[in-house]
């Protein structure tokens, strides 16, 4: 309990992590509560309101079809955050268990499991999405399945490396000597001691997933209209970037702030859990 309190205190005292957390909380609150503050629908079209600049009535202005840009950015936040948290969930289930089993068992099974990872890793994510679209259709389902196929591999490698280092420690050897089962050793002894790298990797995977979804939607492989994804909003704004730059500015700003927030939180967590990170070393040397 004392250790958890110390970690929480370190997180609170980490300025960049707190800045990132504040930005993220604001974005999440807007995604949840934003529609309550707007009388408009994200799909309502009004051609007579085309391309209105930000004003008191339309906080972010309107797009080329007269739709309120604020409410569309808010609904885009829901989609992008959902993709990010699904990626984190995949990392914390498939990646942790896969890497943990490979690192604990070792030998031929470990070599086979990691060669499977290498094979999946060699195929670009966009190709997975294209193949899934051939089978299904563009949308969140295809993105979620593509993330489920490949997004856990970085976590698996990180967890395997940590398990390989920890499994020869005295406390693991003592647990084996006492007859503790391999599954209990993995779940109750090894993985809790890998919590730091796991949390950091999961946190940093969220902005990668958000950017991936935005990119796929930008090239037309993501969600379908009239859904409002940040990538789709930026794609729609490219054709009128010089006439109505605000249509591109606000979804781009939302993507930038969200990715920045998660990166700040991830860097802060890395400083907390890794006392030998370059930033911490630099501060120590200054002292």
* pLDDT band at residue 53 using 50, 70 and 90 as cut-offs: confident
The residue to which tokens 């031929």 are assigned: 108
Task: Give how far Cα 56 sits from Cα of 6, 37, 53, 61, 143, Å.
Answer: 45, 12, 10, 9, 36
The number of angstroms, rounded, from the C-alpha of 171 to the middle of its chain's C-alpha atoms is 34
* Tokens linked to 29: 């609150």
What residues contact residue 7 under an 8 Å CB cut-off, 6+ apart? 272, 273
Out of 139-148, 156-165, 228-237, the most confident range is 156-165
Q: Please state the pTM of the whole predicted model.
A: 0.79
**With 60 as the cut, is the pLDDT of residue 153 above it?**
yes
* Tokens linked to 147: 């993330």
Nearest to 209 by CA among 23, 74, 80, 72: 80
Query: Which CATH class name applies to 2-286?
Result: mainly alpha
pLDDT (tens digit, 9 = 90+) per residue, 193-217?
A: 887 888 888 888 888 888 888 887 7
DSSP class of residue 240 equals T
Specify the pLDDT at position 281.
41
Q: Which residue has the higher pLDDT, 218 or 105?
A: 105
Task: Give how far Cα 91 sits from Cα of 102, 210, 272, Å.
Answer: 15, 14, 21
Average pLDDT, the chain: 80
Nearest to 87 by CA among 151, 28, 134: 151
What residues contact residue 32 under an 8 Å CB cut-off, 6+ apart? none
Each domain of the chain, given as residue ranges in start order, spans 2-286
Q: What CA–CA distance (Å, rounded) separates 3 from 25? A: 25
pLDDT (tens digit, 9 = 90+) per residue, 77-136?
A: 888 888 888 888 888 888 888 888 888 888 888 889 888 888 888 887 777 777 777 777
């Amino acid at each position: 309990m004392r250790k958890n309190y110390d970690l929480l205190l370190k997180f609170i005292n980490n300025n960049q992590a707190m800045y990132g957390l504040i930005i993220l909380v604001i974005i999440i609150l807007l995604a949840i509560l934003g529609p309550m503050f707007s009388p408009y629908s994200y799909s309502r079209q009004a051609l007579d309101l085309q391309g209105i600049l930000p004003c008191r009535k339309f906080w972010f202005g309107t797009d080329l079809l007269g739709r309120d840009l604020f409410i569309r950015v808010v609904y885009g936040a829901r989609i992008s955050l959902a993709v990010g948290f699904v990626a984190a969930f995949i990392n914390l289930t498939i990646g942790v268990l896969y890497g943990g089993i490979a690192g604990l068992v070792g030998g031929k099974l470990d070599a086979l499991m990691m060669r499977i990872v290498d094979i999946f890793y060699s195929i670009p994510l966009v190709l997975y999405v294209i193949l899934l679209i051939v089978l299904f259709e563009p949308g969140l389902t295809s993105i979620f399945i593509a993330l489920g196929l490949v997004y856990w591999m970085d976590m698996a490698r990180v967890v395997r490396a940590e398990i390989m280092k920890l499994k020869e420690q005295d406390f693991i050897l003592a647990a084996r000597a006492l007859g503790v089962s391999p599954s209990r050793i993995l779940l109750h002894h090894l993985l809790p001691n890998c919590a730091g790298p796991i949390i950091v990797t999961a946190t940093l995977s969220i902005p990668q997933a958000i950017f991936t979804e935005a990119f796929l939607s930008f090239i037309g492989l993501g969600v379908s209209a009239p859904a409002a994804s940040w990538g789709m909003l930026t794609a729609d704004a490219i054709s009128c970037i010089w006439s109505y730059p605000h249509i591109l500015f606000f979804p781009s700003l939302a993507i930038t702030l969200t990715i920045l927030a998660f990166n700040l939180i991830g860097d802060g967590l890395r400083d907390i859990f890794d006392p030998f990170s370059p930033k911490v070393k630099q501060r120590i040397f200054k002292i």
